[in-house]
Amino acid sequence: MTIGDELLIGQVVDTNSAWMGQQLNAIGLRVHQITSVSDNEQHILDALFEASKRSSLVLITGGLGPTKDDITKKTLCKYFNVGMRFDGSAYENVARIFRERGREVTETNRSQAEVPENCITLNNQRGTAPGMWFEKEGVVYVSMPGVPTEMKGLMEHEVLPRLSQRFNVPPVLHRTILTQGIGESMLSDMLEGWEAALPAHMKLAYLPAAGMVRLRITAAGKLPELLRMELAHEEEKLLQIINEYVFGFDNDRLEAIVGKLLTAAGNTLSTAESCTGGYIAHRVTAIPGSSAYFKGSIISYSNDIKTSLLDVPKEMLEKHGAVSESVVRCMAEQVRIKLRTDYSIAASGIAGPTGATDEKPLGLVWIAVSGPQGTETRKLQLGTGRERVIHETALYALNLLRHIMMKVQSG
Amino acid sequence: MTIGDELLIGQVVDTNSAWMGQQLNAIGLRVHQITSVSDNEQHILDALFEASKRSSLVLITGGLGPTKDDITKKTLCKYFNVGMRFDGSAYENVARIFRERGREVTETNRSQAEVPENCITLNNQRGTAPGMWFEKEGVVYVSMPGVPTEMKGLMEHEVLPRLSQRFNVPPVLHRTILTQGIGESMLSDMLEGWEAALPAHMKLAYLPAAGMVRLRITAAGKLPELLRMELAHEEEKLLQIINEYVFGFDNDRLEAIVGKLLTAAGNTLSTAESCTGGYIAHRVTAIPGSSAYFKGSIISYSNDIKTSLLDVPKEMLEKHGAVSESVVRCMAEQVRIKLRTDYSIAASGIAGPTGATDEKPLGLVWIAVSGPQGTETRKLQLGTGRERVIHETALYALNLLRHIMMKVQSG
């Protein structure tokens, strides 16, 4: 249950619920429903009551700030029909945080140590609002701040260990297969026979996302060891059918897979980016430890930078235009030389919403990967939507690098 | 109501609900609750029934794909107690999409034109599953695909215009003030008096986010013109108290504000990035039209690129280290010269999780902005969390550029 008007008017996307769903699943707890409600006492009371009928565990985030619009604690008092008490250890935590920032505890913040009488407080290392654990009529309620880092710290250090002890449930196993370069309905046609032959306690789901389709196999309700074997067996059969489209599994990120390949080969990478404007480099460097293989980029957003920093000949730009095979090939080869890396990626395209011509429509993108074996290029036609074009270009380019590196490794 | 196991196990974050909340709010409709449920018939039926008791409008996304795990249509038939019919216009749309991709309509996809008898179909320009509009006992239900671009197209072209006609409600107005460089409780202390004096039909909410705090004023239930005036009046009073921390309003993005300042001044920008790895350039180029002022970047992730492409002296790197005021200053000044731009941004820091030393802890970042008036630097201490450090560094750096450009413009 996430509390806050900001969720309902759409100012904030609820990312807490998805993260909690993942963590709960991993310890064998299944989320039955996610509910977002407003900062309104009656609404919160109703939602708590309904949730307690459906589930034996209700996780609540939000509405614990020190300000006037945060009413979760008062409402929990009303729900459990109890008063407030001052919690010494929660106050110690508030005082510690203010001390570390070299500030005095304000009166507003002192009130964060006041909690409903019937709760156990859980220490929030990352913020001033304590977590709170309640039990009533066999249902566990846990209230946490809505700020994601604080909620995550509380879940990891306090809530999940307690839940593992308190509940003891059979596991649900998931395996997700990540594909690229093929649509959902085409995959579905290829997998029809395999899917029909799945045992009853196993289930397939298609999860399309920008530039890829994820396939999730779920298996439930048996001995974990047996389940794990069955899942592996079905996965093997599936891979035989669609192997060429599979680039990874579960929470694999393409940039992490590419990073592992580069690390294993002791190779380095650079990028030369036009339409992606640094996004490929950003994806690569979002991975911890990427400094071991990523040396840098030249972002040549304007044509004169393509000429001055990447030595793309002026005549080539005039003849073929910046969005062309010859220019993207030149960008990749030049950045590889200038940054002295084993591999390089280049991209040049029309992300939109303007810049299209009759011959070069919105979403036309050329990508290139250069390496010890030479340079490969691809023409992409990604349609409209600036953000989507940038995002998908990065995926296609990283996947092209992955394909080339796998070919090299397999001889 | 969003439907899909992938939401409950946390594989997908529900971004649809927030977007719909924004759009509905803009036409005066208030979202009462967001509910995410599993791909389970009974659960969907229960949730539909409960929603119909609470609200006069139920928007549903998800579970409309052509594959076996998509059960929304069947379940809606059961809920309304009707059969299926074949919809000619929905089929035409499926055929058109396949034609455009040069493919034949598969049997699986033909089934997308089958819909519950009692619905009006809504044309989905961006995909094969039609939108569906139902009315029963005074409640409107709209079912849409879960793929965000398809849902958005349907909402914009079909659903929102129909809802504006069907419902006629007094507006709720929101104004959000975006602040940076000050915490939530400090703001709350400064605004205490102002908040206490707000009229009863106006409300303030604090929305902390990475690197900023947003303040949202909500006003409801009066004549729109009067409400707008009152809101503007309260905003003016608020700005007098906290003006120095305010960088924008509502959905303003710092990179768009900076883009407008650069455009107005006819100035250009470049970046030299180390720890942010291209993220600042990505933020800047995510804005349509940024090619008018953004020329490019040098991403010098490794030290030898700092030397070879940005002429940072080796001795400086050895003496002060890459994360230092002198190096970040040199990076900003060099990229500004080499890319011939009016302004430049540079960042160098320790994003983690490794790389920290006793003198240089995780989250230590130096940023610099260079321009016609010289170079300004700032030392940031952003703590742990690689993603957060990269994100906040970009915000601080863009805001420093904004401050400097505003100073120049005001004389």
Which among A61, A125, A104 has a CA at the least distance from the CA of B189?
A: A104
Nearest chain A residue to B204, by CA: A69
**Among residues 224-263 of chain A, which lie with CB inside 8 Å of chain B?**
none
How many angstroms away from the CA of A411 is the closest CA of chain B? 30
Reduced to 3 states (helix: H, G, I; strand: E, B; else coil), residue B156 is helix
Integer-rounded Cα Rg, in Å, for chain B is 26
* Single-letter code of the amino acid located at A48: L
* Per-residue pLDDT tens digits for A262-280: 999 999 999 999 999 999 9
Whether chain A has a CB inside 8 Å of the CB on B147: the answer is yes
Chain-centroid distance of CA B140 in Å reads 28
Residues of chain B contacting residue A189, judged by C-beta atoms under 8 Å apart: 106, 108
pLDDT by residue, tens only, chain B of 411 residues: 999 998 998 888 999 999 999 889 878 898 999 999 999 999 999 999 999 999 999 999 998 877 777 899 999 999 999 999 999 999 999 998 888 767 788 777 888 899 999 999 999 988 889 999 999 999 999 999 998 989 999 999 999 989 988 987 777 788 999 998 788 888 999 999 999 999 988 989 887 777 789 998 988 876 778 889 999 999 999 999 998 889 999 889 999 999 999 999 999 999 999 999 999 999 999 999 999 999 999 999 999 999 999 999 999 999 999 999 999 999 999 999 999 999 999 999 999 888 888 889 889 999 999 999 999 999 998 887 898 899 999 999 999 999 999 988 886
Residues of chain B contacting residue A185, judged by C-beta atoms under 8 Å apart: 66-67, 106, 108-109, 128
**Among residues 320-379 of chain B, which lie with CB inside 8 Å of chain A?**
338-340, 352-355
Q: Which residues pair with B379 in a beta bridge?
A: B366
Q: Classify strands A131-136 and B131-136 as parallel, antiparallel or unpaired.
A: unpaired
Contact assessment for residue A222 and residue A233, using Cβ atoms and an 8 Å cutoff = no
How far is Cα A184 from Cα A202, in angstroms, rounded to an integer? 20
The yes-or-no verdict on residue A72 having pLDDT over 70 is yes
Which among A379, A270, A343 has a CA at the least distance from the CA of B277?
A: A270
Q: Is the dihedral of CA A121, A123, A126, A127 positive or negative?
A: positive
Q: Which structural domains are found in chain B, ordered by start?
A: 2-166 (3.40.980.10), 172-249 (3.30.70.2860), 254-409 (3.90.950.20)
Nearest chain A residue to B191, by CA: A67
Which among B43, B75, B62, B4 has a CA at the least distance from the CA of A21?
A: B4
Residues of chain A contacting residue B30, judged by C-beta atoms under 8 Å apart: 8-9
Q: Which residues pair with B115 in a beta bridge?
A: B85
Q: Which residues pair with B140 in a beta bridge?
A: B57, B135
The residue assigned the tokens 């995780």 is B362
Whether chain A has a CB inside 8 Å of the CB on B19: the answer is yes
How far is Cα B276 from Cα A389, in angstroms, rounded to an integer? 22
Q: Classify strands A343-349 and A364-371 as parallel, antiparallel or unpaired.
A: antiparallel
Read off φ and ψ for residue A386, nearest 5 degrees.
Answer: -50, -50
Residues of chain A contacting residue B288, judged by C-beta atoms under 8 Å apart: 352-354, 386
Whether chain B has a CB inside 8 Å of the CB on A384: the answer is no
How far is Cα A257 from Cα A246, in angstroms, rounded to an integer? 12
Contact assessment for residue A180 and residue A211, using Cβ atoms and an 8 Å cutoff = yes
Give the model's pLDDT for residue B222. Answer: 66
CB contact under 8 A, B302 and A282: no
Cα B52 to Cα A20, A48, B120: the distances in Å are: 28, 19, 19
Torsion of CA A12, A17, A18, A22, to 10 degrees: 160
For A211-276, give the secondary structure using H, E and C.
Answer: CEEEEEEEEECCCHHHHHHHHHHHHHHHHHHHHHHEEEECCCCHHHHHHHHHHHHCCCEEEEECCC
Q: What is the ipTM of this complex?
A: 0.75
Q: Classify strands A374-381 and B2-3 as parallel, antiparallel or unpaired.
A: unpaired
**Which one of A36, A109, A160, A341 would you mutate to disrupt binding with B, by most B Cβ within 10 Å of its Cβ?**
A36
Integer-rounded Cα Rg, in Å, for chain A is 26
Whether chain B has a CB inside 8 Å of the CB on A200: the answer is no
Nearest to B189 among A34, A108, A301 (CB): A108
CB contact under 8 A, A69 and B279: no
This prediction has a pTM of 0.75
Give the model's pLDDT for residue A222. Answer: 66
Residues of chain B contacting residue A280, judged by C-beta atoms under 8 Å apart: 278
Nearest to B299 among A22, A203, A297 (CB): A297
**Which one of B33, B334, B388 would you mutate to disrupt binding with A, by most A Cβ within 10 Å of its Cβ?**
B33
Reduced to 3 states (helix: H, G, I; strand: E, B; else coil), residue A177 is strand
